[in-house]
Amino acid sequence: MNGDTLEMALEQILDNSKLNDMLAALANVCDAKAEHLASNWQDAVSAKAWTMAATRVREVSQNPKVVAVSI
């Protein structure tokens, strides 16, 4: 998927949901990727990076300014 296609897909999702919900879902995907890497590939380094990314994205999703945009 190229950048333009990805942006269009994200815009469609965002048109049908709230920004904070979309970011929370992305954080869940990052967590799932971390779990997959740790369980199936024993790649603790990459898993930790994905877990940290999930944490940061989740924090952003809960930021009051992001939540305000989502109302």
pLDDT (tens digit, 9 = 90+) per residue, 27-68? 999 999 999 999 999 999 999 999 999 999 999 999 999 999
**Which residue in 41, 5, 63 sits closest to 50, CA to CA?**
41
Residue found under tokens 């809960």: 62
Is 2 contained in some domain?
no
> Based on the structure, what is the number of domains in the chain?
1
In a domain, 12, yes or no: no
Does residue 57 form part of some domain?
yes
Query: Considering Cα of 57, then 26, then 37, then 35, what sign does the dihedral take?
Result: positive
Question: In this structure, is residue 32 part of a structural domain?
Answer: yes
| Domain housing 54 | 18-69
**How far apart are alpha carbons 55 and 29 in whole angstroms?**
11
Within a domain: 5: no
Whether this model's pTM surpasses 0.85:
yes
